[in-house]
Structure 1
Amino acid sequence: MTSLTESTVRSTRVSDLLFSKVPQVTLAFWIIKVFSTTVGETAADFFNVALNFGLTVTSIVFGILLLIALGVQFRTKRYSPTAYWIAVVLISVVGTLITDNLTDVAGVPLWISTTVFASLLTVTFVIWFLRERTLSIHSIVSRRREAFYWLAILFTFALGTAAGDLLAEGLGLGFLVSAILFAAVIGVVTIAFFVFQANAVVCFWIAYVLTRPLGASLGDLTSQPVADGGLGWGTAATSAVFLIVIVGLVVHLTMTLSRQRRALASETSATAIA
């Protein structure tokens, strides 16, 4: 049994390193994910308000950048930290802008946006599962699965933005309390997974959605004026600081992945010779 388990773990590791188009779920993954949502919140505000681009121009610019980034991501043959995380940061910005346009331009109530995006995400998951029989991110090894994956990612960002704003407006929570609340809920999901062996795929996607309002709360906490309950960094400084952290972690992941792939290649070569 132990040998079988070790063989399964090794097979998954080899598949992730050589064939998967998305990263392994580690602590660094979640840190970058949360920080990318923070950048999505503050960068959208920076270009929209501070630079006075307006929602329409900002949405068009980042929409084009996202399409380019996804084009590069789809052309990669296996997971590339740089290509992947650039796409995530940009899809975070676009997801925020979609909700902002619906709320501020079209006048759609947040509860409707939340319901619509939750429904779209559910439909995406249902079709994805019916076609592929799995929602595991460890199975992203084909373009069709990758397309489902990125569509789900987009809806999680839009849903997280709408639901987070709805909760913040409905309960009138401050930035710090909101961040603590969302972090606590993610903690509950984490405990459910590690302690009670809850379904890994369900826990992953719940946590993925919740990191969006958590990141947004952190962005508001650091960027908004002190008089409004923030730290007063401003959107430019906040975006820059969190981007620097993201870049540092992506560089670290790139170097680590390169070493892992070289070690795997050497191990495979030695096994073949033996």
Structure 2
Amino acid sequence: MTEQERDVLSKVPAVTLGFWIIKILATTLGETAGDTVTMTMKLGYLAGTAIFMTVLALLVWRQIAARRFHPFLYWATIVASTTAGTALADFATRSLGIGYTGGSLLLLACVLASLAAWRWTTGSISSDAISTPRAEAFYWLTITFSQTLGTALGDWTADTGGLGYVGAALVFGALLAVVAGLYFWTRVNRVLLFWAAFILTRPLGATVGDFLDKPVDHGGLAFSRPLASAVLAAVIIVLILVLPQRAGRHPGEAA
């Protein structure tokens, strides 16, 4: 298999610093865009969840059907997953009445169950081992659960934990720094660190998004949700165009 053929088969991006920058911005956009539909437009959490899950399902289908890596398609699917996660987490923790703690525990169980089923079915949960539609389906399912979990964790830390949006953002930023330190200075399993970082970027983005659009008397800046979402989307598009976007390493590359 040639290098060109391997890149065609790999449909997820290489995990670089640029990947994490865009990921954090995408999760922040997911929070402001989700709140725009469910709160500003007053459609509610159930309707918002239905809308975003439909969009996510269509994008995941398109991503799996694609024959090569498309940066805009990939990141649109990420944004859809984090937006759906915002609405789904709010529906679970508020409309179902299980609270942030119950919602976080439930969603953590979903993430772990998805990873376990993925590992049992395909033999690997590495983002470098996504070479079949089944592995891709598990990849996006796990991502959606992790985005939803991250939303609940962010709300739990900021509200129930009493840290506020800025305090919660600092906590998750510090935890991400710890994960980065483990990556650079230890031999801790890289797959484990990837998923830990992937989950932690979501509550970081959620708390930053809440800080931007929540009322001043709730600890936010009261920015317009639609405007904040538009600015974040524009920044993400620019970064996708400016930062190197290449397909990640395909498992066949090792051979």
TM-score normalised by structure 2 residue count: 0.90
- Tell me how far apart the structure 2 counterparts of residues 227 and 168 of structure 1 sit (CA, whole Å): 14
State the shift of 1:256 in Å.
5.1
Q: 2:94 aligned to 88, 100, 104, which one?
A: 104
1:32 partnered with 2:46 = no
Identity of aligned residues (%): 35
Q: 1:187 aligns with which of 177, 180, 183?
A: 177
| Cα distance in 2 between the residues matched to 1:44 and 1:113 | 17
1:165-219 deviation digits (Å, cap 9, x = unpaired): 2222232112112111110110001001101122110111001000011001111
Q: Highest relative contact order (Cα 8 Å, sep 6+), 1 or 2?
A: 2
Assess if the C-alpha contact under 8 Å between 1:21 and 1:146 holds in 2: no
Measure the CA separation in 2 of the matches of 1:233 and 1:65: 26
Give the structure 2 partner of residue 224 of structure 1.
214
Q: Does 1:243 align with 2:255?
A: no
Task: Find the aligned partners of 1:183 and 1:15 in 2 and give their Cα distance.
Answer: 38
Q: CA RMSD in A?
A: 2.1
1:63-212 map, 5 Å? 63-212=53-202
Report the count of equivalent residues: 247
Q: Deviations over 1:24-80 (max 9, x none)?
A: 001111111111111111111111121222223222222221122112111101211
Q: Distance in 2 between matches of 1:56 and 1:115?
A: 20
Q: Distance in 1 between matches of 2:139 and 2:28?
A: 21
Residues 31 and 15 of structure 1: is their aligned pair in 2 closer, same or farther, counting only changes over 3 Å? farther
What amino acid does structure 2 have at the position aligned with 1:167?
T
Output the amino acid matched with 1:140. I
Contact 1:16 1:23 in 2 (8 A): no
Q: Is the 8 A contact 1:36 1:88 kept in 2?
A: yes
The TM-score with structure 1 as length reference comes to 0.84
Q: Which consecutive residues of structure 1, in runs of 5 or more, have no partner in the other structure?
A: 1-10, 259-274
- The answer to whether the Cα contact below 8 Å between 1:96 and 1:158 also exists between their aligned partners in 2 is yes
Separation in structure 2 between the aligned mates of residue 197 and residue 15 of structure 1, nearest angstrom: 31
Distance 1:15 1:32, change over 3 A: farther
